[in-house]
Structures are given as structure tokens and as C-alpha cells.
Amino acid sequence: MTNRQAQVLIVDDDLSVIASIELMLKQNGYKTLSACNPKEAMLKLENDNINLIIQDMNFSRSTSGKEGLELMKLIKSKHPTIPILLMTAWASIELAVEGIKQGANDFLTKPWDNSNLLRVIETALDLNKPNSINLIDRKELDEKYDFKYIIGQDPLMLEILSTIGRVASTNAPILILGESGTGKELIADAIHNNSLRQEQSLVKVNLGGMTTSLFESEMFGHVKGAFTDAKQDRLGRFELADKGSIFLDEIGDLDPASQVKLLRILQDQTFQPVGSSKTRRSNFRVISATNRSLDEMVSKNEFREDLLYRLNLITIELPPLRKRIGDICQLVNHHLKRIEKQYHLEGLELKNDAVKWLEKQSWPGNIRQLSQTIERVVLMSQSNLISEKDLINITPSKSTQSKQSSKFEDIENLTLNEVEKAMIIKSLDAYNNNITKVSEVLGVSRAAIYRRLEKYGIVL
């Protein structure tokens, strides 16, 4: 059965709502059933094959949502595998968030947008399909998906790659969690590259370096004359991501006012450029990432709970490097090949004692720290064969050792960009990736640091 042959049950006490949704779904090939109250809905579920439910939160003119929540919990107890989409007014979004906590798959606000509703239905049905991957094998995954930039055979990583393969082709919003340096951006790339949107753009936005005043202009665009420096129209990031994907990195750094604006566009995928009264639409898939605990931020009222549930329909949590030690040898070989190409070297190799030493370290900076350690020891060592002793001698505090021990005889052999990159890497190492502290030490803004991280391809 394809998604468009699925049967959808619409539960709402407003007959005009039922009629409108039924018409739209039937025009798109779906079968529909309807119910005007909880009792009728349960009867339909017992007697008919239902693949998905669209359920209103309020019945009998009640605005508390209590009856809707009770119905949803009852359906989940008797039919746990059927996906449920909740519908509510924007002012009652708290009800929908509570419904998500109780097991609903997603929520929409009234009035809804038909194209957005169709996307949400498709996503819910896609995610409800059984997973065909049982025993996970890296070779089989690579034959089926494009994971060429992700290194590793660890069971934790294979499980993540299996999940990516399953959900990438849907439109589900995905939240990537993980410590700094675990490779969240690479995972975002893999999701996009294995999606149906792979031929379109993946627009990357680092929200950690974006000021509150620039959020609307940067994300929604602006028209000429909207403000003093608006000398011409400019497309925002969401419009550039139309038909593609948008990656919102450092989502946990977004300020409260911008969180509200983001929630609005994620709700119906419409927006207004700064200085314009015309509403525009963008069909994008959102992927976000953070190294912060959003649940903890919600409990402290630092992050909106309704926004979190808009972002984390699927959550992928990346393991720190200390929990995937078996991948270190493969990661090291990968970085040696990169360094050989970057610095025009050849024959780089680590002795067995060096690999064992690396496997014993805690790696608070994860893969980024490992990469920088390998790069540093290669550049500071006089031999292409790296030993445990070489690694022990090369620490952040010793990275300014005499130039006689370096492959580069003097600083004149380094470009300005290479010096700047080295300073940033050294500061990140010294202050455990604390961007605020690094910006203070180097005397530049946080936004400037984030821009340079992107410029030099430094992954936190």
C-alpha cells in the first residue's frame, strides 16, 4: 500500500472542517472516514482499517482540550501503532504540546495550509512503516545509502546510520544532539544527501553567531529600503532553502524573541520579508543541531517547549568519541590521508603504540580534537612515522616549541589564514570549545569566531 492509498480518520465536531479536509484528501488519492465525537471515533477504529488519525482537541464547544487529550490517550492505549495528528488553534498550542508528550505524532494549527497538512501526513505515514533493517552491516548500509563522508563501524554509529537511512526520505524535522566535535554537521549533510531533496540546496545557518536584530533579515530576507543599509532586495535563508533543506546549527543559542519567529515559520512555512507586507511560502525540510540540553533549557524557561516539539519529531543523539573507541584507528587513517593531501606530504603513519595511546584518551573535544591532535603531531614531528612519545610531547601548551622540531622552518611559510586558523584551534583547545571565552581572549565577537569556524571548516 502506498501512502496515497491510506485511509485517514478525521475526528472533529465541526462538519465544515471535516468536509474541507475530506475533499482535499480525496483529491490527493486518500480514503477518508469521519467522526464527530470520541464515541463515534472509537467505533470507527474498531470496525475499519485506519492508517492515520487527524484529531481535533476540543469537542462539545469545550476549550479546555481535556476531552481531546483523553480521546488521544484512549486511542493510543488500544491502537498504539496508528499515528495521530492533532489540530488546535494557535492560541491553544499548549494543548498540542501536551498531546505530543502523551504520544501524538505531530500537531497543526487552525487555519491549516493544505500543502503543509499533506506533507505532515506523508511524513507520519512514512515514519510508521516497519524498519526493514534488522542486523545492521556497514557494507549493506553503504550499498543502499550515501554515507561516504561518515567514518566508523561502531555499533552505536551503525544504529544511527540505519535511522538516517530510514527517515531521510521523509520530511520529518530532525534534531541532532551531541557534544562539540561529534560530527553533527556531517550527519546533517548525510540526511540531506539521502533525502528526496538531495538535488536542491542544503542551506546552513549558524544561529550561535547571529544577533537578535539580524535574525529576521537574515532568515526571512528584506526588501529594498526596509532599513538604512537595505540597498536592494535580499532573499532570506528560508527562501533559499525552498524545495531543499535548512540546517539550523546551534539552535540552543537562539534568543527567546527569535524562537517565537522561528516557531511561526515552522508551523506553516510562510513568512514576510522585512519591509514587505506580502506573505511568501517556502517548502523546506528543517534539520537542527545543538550541544546543549534543550530539555533542561525548557525546564529553566530558556527554550520554548512548543518549538522543541516542532524540531524533534526525530532525535538523533551522537555518541562522544570516548564511547566509540573502536573507530579511532579508522578516523586516524582518514585524517592522515587528509593531511597528506593538504600539506603535500606522503607516507604518514602511526605506530601501534601511538594508536593505543590515542584509544586511552578521554577526548573532551571529540573528533575535532582528535583531528587537530593528529594534524599538530604530524606538523611538529621530524619523522613520518608517529610514535606514542611524539603524541605525549605534543600538547596545546607545547605547540609553540622551537621551530627546529617542525616541518615548517619559520612562520614565513605560513599564510595569514593558516596563522589565524592555528590561533583559533589553539584557543579552542585551551578553553574546551568555550566560544565566549575564546572570543574574549582573541578580542573578537562571538559572531566573528563562528564565521571563522565556518570559513576554515573547524567543526565543534
- Residue-range domain boundaries for the chain: 3-127, 138-319, 322-456
The answer to whether residue 65 scores a pLDDT higher than 70 is: no
Domain 322-456, classified CATH 1.10.8.60, yes or no: yes
> Buried (b) or exposed (e) across 273-290, using 16+ Cβ within 10 A?
bbbeeeebebebbbbbbb
The CATH fold assigned to 3-127 is Rossmann fold (3.40.50)
Mean pLDDT value of segment 174-195: 96
User: 138-319 and 322-456: same fold?
Assistant: no
Could you tell me if 354 and 386 are in contact, meaning their C-beta atoms sit under 8 angstroms apart? yes
The answer to whether residue 457 scores a pLDDT higher than 80 is: no
Residue 225's CB is within 10 A of a number of other CB atoms, namely 11
Q: Provide the β-strand partners of residue 428.
A: none
Contact partners, residue 48, CB within 8 Å, separation at least 6:
7, 9, 33
- Position 15 scores a pLDDT of 92
pLDDT in tens, 340-394: 998 899 999 999 999 999 999 999 889 989 998 999 899 888 889 999 999 998 7
pLDDT > 70 fraction of the chain, expressed in percent and rounded = 91
- The pTM of the full predicted model, rounded to 2 decimals, is 0.75
Nine cell digits for residue 131: 524498519
The CATH fold assigned to 138-319 is Rossmann fold (3.40.50)
pLDDT in tens, 120-138: 999 899 888 765 545 678 9
pLDDT in tens, 383-441: 899 999 999 987 544 444 333 334 444 445 567 777 788 888 878 877 778 887 888 77
- The rounded distance, in Å, linking the Cα atoms of 426 and 442 is 11
Look at the block and give the residue holding cell 539552535.
251
